[in-house]
Structure 1
Amino acid sequence: MNRLTIRHLSTALWRPASLRQWVLTSFVIALIPLAVLLWQAHASLNGINDLAVHEAQDAVRNARQIENLDSLVVDIERALRQYDILRTEAARDTATAQLQNYSQELSTLCFGAAMTQPPESCAEQQRLLTELGDQFDQAQGAELNEWLRQLRWRQRQLNHHIWQNLNDRLAHQQDYVNSRQQRLNVQTVLLVLITLVLVFWASGRIAAPIRRLDRMIRAIGQNQAQPLPTQVKGPRELNELGERLHWLSGRLEQLESLRLALLRHASHELKTPLASMKEGCALLADGITGPLNQSQREVLRLLTGSTERLAQLTDQLLDYNQLLQQSDVERHTLNPEHLIQVTVQQHGLALRQRQLQVAIDCSLAELYTDPRLFQRILDNLLNNAQAYGAQGGRVLIRLRQHGGALQLDVANTGPSIPTDQRDALFAPFQRGQAPRFDAVRGTGLGLSVVSDCARLLGGTARFVDQADFDVCIRVQLPLKDSTE
């Protein structure tokens, strides 16, 4: 085997396993405690079964031996009485043979494997048999009856001891079964807990790279500045998916940089000809090139309006481009009511022309936030309210703390917005169907700027329902990032 083959083998061994192999391996590991439990249960059942069979065989053997001893006692009594009457050599041999048979059966019963400790009645019975075998040919009448009575009585005692021994062994067997059952129950609980731990470990082992991929996708979607994890550290398929996400993230960053560069250069390149067009229109309006007739003044008015419109669009694009490039948030403590008053004064001329009544409700003495982002939110919301609000209507600006968050509400009277169109208005270059009541045509960037500023501050922007007002936009910021 050459070095190249060894290198290929080592690479294959250290290569991450596939998702299917991970799942199968996790199932096998989780099934190991269950297999151990089945093996333990099988071993316990086999032990109990062997014990039950052995005890049953011993009980049957003892019962048969007791029955044989009872029969031999009857045979001994019959043979001895025959010898007592006949006094012949044949009767004596018969009695001696019966006594020897009884002695052998008694030895087998009392000193066999089934009897762990022979009772005292065995030795007494054996002693009685020895005396009876030596002296029965000399006994007559009452003496023989006394020996036979003792033989029967000791046989009954022996039967009692044997049955008591069988009952004790049965109780011991029951205790053994109970102990094995308790042990099996404890093992079952422990192995089930181990199985659950292994199942959670295996599921976490499979879910961890998936959660890591989810964080990567969210980071790409939210355009976060943090670098993506270098490796997913999971199955081969998920590792390959992580590499593709890295490639996609790089590709998106490249396209985003190209888009921003194009937007920046296009906006700056438009400013120079726009300035020339505005200066030329101003010269024509002042009559420096000569007097203008009514048709020429009408054309000049259209050119001036279009130039101002294009200049405003260019400024909005530059402002939106600057917002997209801003990633750092610089928070300072400020007076929120003063900031709201300054913003309202900046829109004072447009508000007076529309005859809008502005009400300010600020319950906070100070605010810890980024002044530029917060003022940009106020500026765009107030511009949206004066542009789409009804002539002579009302505007409400309310800043308060609600629960664990700060809420900035800007509401106005005027045409309401359908519920199914509200979320789409926060996307760039999306405009609603409601008409603007000012002289400027909207670009659809106002609410998008509000949403992006709120996101940079860690909050959200959405439409809500407000009593006595037709439209209300609420910006909700987290308290921990906005106040101290």
Structure 2
Amino acid sequence: MVQFGSLRQLTLGSFVLALIPLIALLWQSQSDLAKVGKMTTLETRYVVDVVGDMQRLDGAVTALERSIRQFTVIRNEKVAALSDNALDQFAVAADNLCQALSVPATCDPLFEQLSQLSDYRNIEDQLLLNAYLASVSSSVTALRGEVENAIANRVKVQQDDLNAMQAKQAWSTAMLVSVSLLLILLGSQLIVNPVNKLKQIIRIVAHQKGDLPPLSRHAPRELIDVEKDLHWLHDRLQQLEHIRTALLRHAAHELKTPLASIKEGCSLLSENVVGELNNAQQEVLSLLTGSTQRLNTLVEKLLDYNLLLQQAQPKHVQTQPKKLVDACLEDYALALQEREVIVNVDVDSAWIDEELFRRILDNLVSNAVAHGALGRPINVHIYQAGKFTVLDVANRGKKIPQSSVATLFEPFTRGAEPRNDNVIGTGLGLSIVADCARLMHGDVKVVDVDYADVCFRVTIPQQEK
């Protein structure tokens, strides 16, 4: 397996590796461009040379015909010398052109005709001389056509070469760009795979479900370090979870001892062991027995309740919250009677998790009883607002300072105002309300209303998200 260095080295290495096909493509393009330039230079030089030879041949044939005709009129050595010179120039021009064209079928008759014409001094027949000159002129015309064909053929060959080179360049471009893209994808995958593994580990740590995959051995050093930190975090969270569970288990066990004594005392009172109870005492004993039984249930469900707040999924059902409100108020009947507080209840049907909603009611009503003004009513209002179920619990008393609202729902945060009862608050009630609302995908906040001094509003979607 490949051993990676740092993330920077992997990124730079992948970038350089992806550039190699592009560099090869650039080199090939430059090479093809140089070939095209060289080919263009050679073909241009060839055309220029051939056309120049043809022009010189045209001039030579004209001069040859003129000098020979002059000799037939003025027969002297001076004119004959001019004619011989014209013959030599024509022969050189024809030889150069024929070597460039390589067309013996046209050049061989021309040289034979030139050999016949070289004996012009002894030709007395003017018609024969005219025939020789006409045949030479015709051969020159044929050579001119050969020049045009040769140039056309060279242009066609050059065009074919360019088309083949373009096709080769297109295929090379497609192939090398594809290779470059594949290398880019490979390099990115070498980074994406460890990142996806980190995301998987984060999900496992967040949901506390399943075991973590083993540490990576072939990944950038920085990502391996992050993975090690996540493994350490997972172990630390499990350790803290074990400590928290043990603490709650011991707390539940220790609470059962005084609770058993309270239950035994209520049992003795209900059996009239210490004497007959009047009706008012019987009512108080009944409320005390019910609260004791409820406390026993809460102690037994302490671990389950903590699990409910941390991990459980809410179960929304269509329900009538009136029964939940009545059961909650029954638990606080003694405190309400002692403080002469009336609770105004106005509820509609709702789509909620009954267990979580009951926890919210317990803590908000307890908070209202503890901090509300004596003899002043408490309002519990459950209603529908669009697609949300809204719970308002309002009481009269001192307003909550605005500076305290931001931290009001944090654990172990207690208000500065004294309570109306003898219970020492733990500062967990409102944080439990916030947790329960969050589990039902809702929220809780303090709002201003015109009929009370303090109002806590819990907003919960009617259906689970």
Q: TM-score, normalized by length of structure 2?
A: 0.70
* CA deviation profile, 1:168-187 (whole Å, cap 9, x unmatched): 64465456546645654565
Residue number in structure 1 paired with 2:426: 443
Q: Partner amino acid for 1:226?
A: G
- Hey, what does 2:344 align to over in structure 1? 357
Q: Is the 8 Å Cα contact of residues 437 and 458 (structure 2) preserved in structure 1? A: no
- Given the alignment, which residue of 304, 322, 326 partners 1:345? 326
Over 3 Å counting, the alpha-carbon distance change for 1:127 and 1:408 in structure 2 is farther
Q: CA deviation at 1:206?
A: 1.0
Which residue of structure 1 aligns with residue 52 of structure 2?
64
5+ residue gaps in structure 2? 275-290
Kept in 2, the 8 Å contact 1:385–1:395? The answer is no
Q: Which runs of 5+ in 1 are unaligned?
A: 1-12, 289-308, 368-373
Counterpart for residue 253 of structure 2: 268
1:224 to 208, 225, 234: 208
* C-alpha distance in 2 between matches for 1:198 and 1:465: 57
Deviation at 1:209, TM superposition (A): 1.3
Moved over 6 A (4+): 88-94, 277-283, 311-318, 415-423, 433-439, 464-469
Alignment partners' CA distance in 2, 1:254 and 1:442:
28
Task: Give the whole-Å Cα distance in 2 for the aligned partners of 1:176 and 1:434.
Answer: 96
State which drifts further: 411-420 or 133-142. 411-420
1:109 to 2:90 alignment: no
- Report deviation, 1:445: 2.8
Distance 1:335 1:235, change over 3 A: closer
Residue type matched to 1:443 in 2? T
- Of the three residues 119, 127, 151, the one matched with 1:166 is 151
Write the mapping of 1:51-130 to structure 2, written as runs, cut at 5 A: 51-81=39-69, 83-85=71-73, 95=83, 98-99=86-87, 102-103=90-91, 105-112=93-100, 115=101, 118=103, 122=107, 125-126=110-111, 128-130=113-115
* 1:235 and 2:220 matched: yes
Which SS does the other structure have where 1:443 is aligned?
coil
Query: Contact conserved, 2:437 with 2:444, CA < 8 A, in 1?
Result: no
Q: Is the 8 A contact 2:348 2:383 kept in 1?
A: yes
Match for residue 199 of structure 1 among 171, 184, 187: 184
- Shift of the 270–329 alpha-carbon distance from structure 1 to 2, 3 Å rule, reads closer
* Corresponding pairs, count: 428
8 Å CA contact 1:363, 1:400 repeated in 2: no
The equivalent residue for 1:411 is: 392
Alpha-carbon contact 1:429-1:443 (below 8 Å) kept: yes
- Take 2:193 and 2:325, find their aligned partners in 1: how far apart are those partners? 51
> Measured at CA, do residues 72 and 139 of structure 1 come closer, stay the same or move farther in structure 2, by a change above 3 Å?
farther
State how far apart, in whole Å, the 2-side matches of 1:464 and 1:99 are.
118
Equivalent residue runs for 1:424-443 within 5 Å: 424-431=407-414, 442-443=425-426
Q: Which residue of 2 aligns with 1:42?
A: 30
Q: What's the offset of the Cα at 1:27? A: 1.2
Query: What is the identity, as a one-letter code, of the residue corresponding to 2:328?
Result: H
| 1:65 CA drift (Å) | 1.6
- Equivalent AA in structure 2 for residue 412 of structure 1: V
Q: Which amino acid aligns with 1:102?
A: F
| Other-structure match for 1:257 | 242
Q: What SS does structure 1 have at the residue aligned with 2:319?
A: helix
The structure-2 alpha-carbon separation of the partners of 1:163 and 1:357, relative to structure 1 and needing over 3 Å to count, comes to farther
Q: Any idea what SS the aligned residue of 2:210 has?
A: coil
Cα 1:274/1:324, change in 2 over 3 Å: closer
1:25 to 6, 13, 16: 13
Identity %: 31
Question: Closer, same or farther in 2 for the Cα pair 1:56/1:409, shift >3 Å?
Answer: same
The Cα of 1:136 is off from its aligned counterpart by 6.9
Aligned-residue offset at 1:148? 3.6
Using structure 1 for the length normalisation, give the TM-score.
0.67
Q: Distance in 1 between matches of 2:231 and 2:297?
A: 35
How far, CA to CA, are the matches of 1:416 and 1:316 in structure 2? 31
- 2: distance between equivalents of 1:134 and 1:417? 135
Question: Counterparts in 2 of 1:283-322, with a 5 A limit?
Answer: 321-322=303-304
Which structure 2 residues correspond to residues 151-190 of structure 1 after superposition, within 5 A?
Answer: 151-152=136-137, 154-155=139-140, 158-159=143-144, 161-163=146-148, 165-166=150-151, 169-170=154-155, 173=158, 176-177=161-162, 180-181=165-166, 184=169, 187-188=172-173
What is the CA-CA distance between 1:381 and the residue it aligns to? 1.9
